[in-house]
Structure 1
Amino acid sequence: MPYDKGEAVLVSWPAGPADVPGAVYQVYASSGAAWLKAEEFPAEKKFAADFELPFWAWSHDKAKHAVQLELPQLFSDFKTGMEYSFKVKYVNGKVTAESAPVKAAPKADLFNLARLNNLVLLLVIIVVFFWTVSHAKRKGLFIRRIAGLDAIDEAIGRATEMGRPIFYSTGIGAMSSVPTIASTSILAEVAKKVAQYDTQLKVPHFDPIVMTVCKEVVKQAYMEMERLDSYRDDINFFVSQDQFSYAASVDGMIHREKPAACFFIGHFMAESLLLAEVGATTGAIQIAGTEQESQLPFFFTSCDYTLIGEELYAAGAYLSKEPMLQSTLKVQDFGKAFVMVSVITGSALVMLATWLKWPLVLKVISHIFKAY
């Protein structure tokens, strides 16, 4: 069988005028001993055209019968590469005819030609990615302005002038969650600016593993700014793994210390409003971001800036200006544009082909956009 892992065989033979209603074909297989009936079907069914394979990998011939036999289901001692015998028997009432036995040894294919469209798409993505990396290093890439991230300098500068601390919360998500990973990348950029201005930073944590990672992130940021002497281990500290205990404790800290800026970026649930509302009462500049749509309204109401949707995930590339990270954003944008254009163009062609009755065009489009 083409494009499989070596466990099936394809038995095919030409269709003929004897394929009339009432006639049947019987396909037999043997591993060297007795013959086993592997398949039986009406003579007017099971053609090569019935196989769901793309046009570039398979000939959809309506004048040829084709049957796929899964050998492990027929032989308990099946081995890939072992030789098997097959024959086809025609039965129509008392009239019978039998083909000569043929031998075949199934083997796995190295390349699945049916997935050629996936390979082409992958190669296009790779070429676009390396082109964007090269372009970013030479000329830079345009990324639209994100107000919430541009306000980070303002917030840190305000905290420096007022001599008050900055609170940064990564939320209640685990280190394996994508919003928490995005939050640590933003924390790294915030920590660099904090180290540069020698401002006080406090990062209370819900999860001890996230705390451990953030300690290394902040320490690395101080090292890159050559301010390791200003780094303190108590910048990151564990509070509680109970949701509302964590919120109550951080609220108390914010109320007592009255920070100049608060960052709530990561995975937040019901504690989002509890934290942001207390921060708002202290007059702090508040920047928030979460993937939870149910919590965004609370951040909109109580924070000065809120990162919406993919702005949270793009923040690391936006702040660091790293060509490699910026290139990933551009490739995603190109991918979205390609999908939109493909959907619109494909839909228009399908509608046109249906209206004008062009079955070949419908077949080509369905094969190109199908995953095999």
Structure 2
Amino acid sequence: MFLISFIIIYNIDLRAFDTPNDDGSSITLKWQSNEIFQTFEIFRSLDAEGIFEKISEVDGIETNFRDFNLNPKIDYFYRITGKKDSISTFSNIAGPVRPVVQYFNLSRLPMAICIIILFASVLTYISHARKGKKLFIRKIPALNAIEEAIGRATEMGKPVLYVPGIMDIDDPQTIASMSILARVAEKTAEYGTPLYVPTSRSMAMTMAQQVVKESATRVGRPDWYNPDNIRYITDDQFAYVSAVDGIMVRERPATNLYLGTFYAESLILAETGHSTGAVQIAGTAMPDQLPFFVAACDFTLLGEELYAASAYLSQEPIQLGSLRGQDLGKLIFITVIIVGVLSQIFNWQFFINLFNTIE
């Protein structure tokens, strides 16, 4: 039995070019043909008259291929062969082509423009805040309730409990919590109300002690500060929660503030505080824990409101400017998303092409 293979040469139009917006290590191949093939074999050579080495095989529906890990100092030649049963169809030889390093990815230019606008807005608002210009920040109900809750504790002659989360001071939520603690300490010192701050990290305790001490001094009540009320409990998650629950049951604080990073202990804390009849205000950027705080607390700072609260209370120009600039950036991104959806619906090609990869 003899197997006869027919080789018929047709014209497959092959084009090879440097891949745009890459690091100079790849070449892109594109081809067109009126014939239908089962597979395409891709060959590469360093010489148009030399031996072509097979480097890959792709499905017959493909019309492009990207060759990686190339040397940007060498010229390459390419050829493809379309296979259909025993019939082979050859393309023209494409080349020479050499990969070129692009130092700027132009396909990401729209994103670069958005980032520049965001940074410019942040710096502009920081500058305005430093010059004393009043920046509007919407009122957050939970923050307005903090002073009322402290006043309630003062009237009842009971302490305020402040829980700054269970993470260390390198956590952004803990840092934001310390800014809020400074404001809470000012009010409690001004009213002469005891303030308990149990911490689960030794460094957080040190920072909390310093923050509370400075706040007491700032309102002219340095004698009110008691370092024994700001305690390090333990790094263990549930041992810490047990100790805090014990403080709630024994001391019966009139106001409980949970502001920082929380995990599975959130509901344990909130339920125990609720059982003692305390006014509870919570805030965290942990999405999984927010439902528990919303259900068991009187007021809740949702997500990024925790960070906004620190800027709102401190009135620090850099924080205020950053907050306003980020709000403007979010507005821009939301607008782009909406326009992008409408562009797909109504086929606005200009906006669609603006975010397509440039070739």
What is the TM-score when the length of structure 2 is the normalising length? 0.72
Secondary structure (helix, strand or coil) at the match of 2:260 reads: strand
- Partners of 1:292 and 1:96 lie apart in 2 by 59
**Structure 2 Cα separation of the partners of residues 175 and 98 of structure 1:** 65
Aligned residue-pair number: 333
Is the alpha carbon distance of 1:275 and 1:25 closer, same or farther for their aligned partners in structure 2, counting shifts above 3 Å? closer
Residue type at the aligned position of 2:346: L
1:90 Cα deviation after fit: 8.6
Q: Does 1:143 align with 2:161?
A: no
Paired letter, 1:365: F
Q: Contact between 2:81 and 2:88, CA under 8 Å: does it hold in 1?
A: no
Q: Quick check: 108-117 or 245-254, which moved more?
A: 245-254
2:74 maps to 1:83: yes
**C-alpha spacing 1:231/1:29, structure 2 compared with 1 (3 Å):** farther
1:186–1:315 Cα contact (<8 Å) kept: yes
Kindly tell me: are residues 38 and 116 of structure 1, through their superposed partners in 2, closer, same or farther at Cα, counting changes over 3 Å? farther
**1:7-56 deviations in Å (ceiling 9; x for gaps):** 1245789x8xxx653898965332999744256889x9877xx6xxxxxx
How far the C-alpha of 1:169 sits from its partner, in A, is 0.8
Deviation digits for residues 137-164 of structure 1, max 9, x if unmatched? 4532222222221122233344455554
**1:64-83, aligned counterparts within 5 Å?**
68-72=66-70, 81-83=72-74
Give unmatched runs, 5+ long, in structure 2.
Answer: 1-17
Provide structure 1 residue ranges, at least 5 long, that are not aligned to the other structure: 51-66, 73-79, 354-360
Larger RCO, structure (CA 8 Å, separation 6 or more):
2
CA distance in 1, matches of 2:291, 2:42: 67
Determine if the alignment matches structure 1 residue 320 to structure 2 residue 314: yes
Secondary structure in 2 matching 1:325: helix
Who is 1:5 aligned against? 23
Contact 1:38 1:69 in 2 (8 A): no
Match among 234, 238, 251 for residue 240 of structure 1:
234
Aligned to 1:118: 111
Aligned-pair CA distance for 1:325: 1.7
State the Cα RMSD in Å. 4.2
Contact 1:147 1:305 survives alignment (8 Å): yes
List aligned pairs for 1:9-158, cutoff 5 A. 9=27, 21=35, 27-30=43-46, 35-37=51-53, 68-72=66-70, 81-86=72-77, 102=96, 104=98, 106-136=99-129, 137-158=131-152
Provide closer, same or farther for how the CA distance between residues 39 and 215 of structure 1 changes in structure 2, counting only shifts above 3 A: same
| TM-score normalised by the chain length of structure 1 | 0.70
In structure 2, the partner of 1:208 is 202
Q: Give the equivalent residue in structure 2 for 1:308.
A: 302
Query: What's 1:57 paired with?
Result: none
- CA–CA distance in structure 2, aligned partners of residues 219 and 32 of structure 1: 79
Per-residue CA distance 1:97-148 (angstroms, 9 max, x = gap): 97697374x4422211121111111112122223333444453222222222
**Structure 1: which amino acid aligns with 2:351?**
I
**Aligned partner of 2:330: which letter?**
K
Distance 1:97 1:297, change over 3 A: closer
Partner amino acid for 1:130?
L
- Equivalent of residue 250 in structure 2, options 253, 256, 266: 256
Aligned to 1:366: 352
* CA 91–174 in structure 1, closer or farther in 2 if over 3 Å, else same: closer
Cα deviation, residue 204, structure 1: 0.8
CA contact (8 A) 1:272 1:295 kept: yes
Counterpart Cα distance in 2 of 1:186 and 1:370: 44
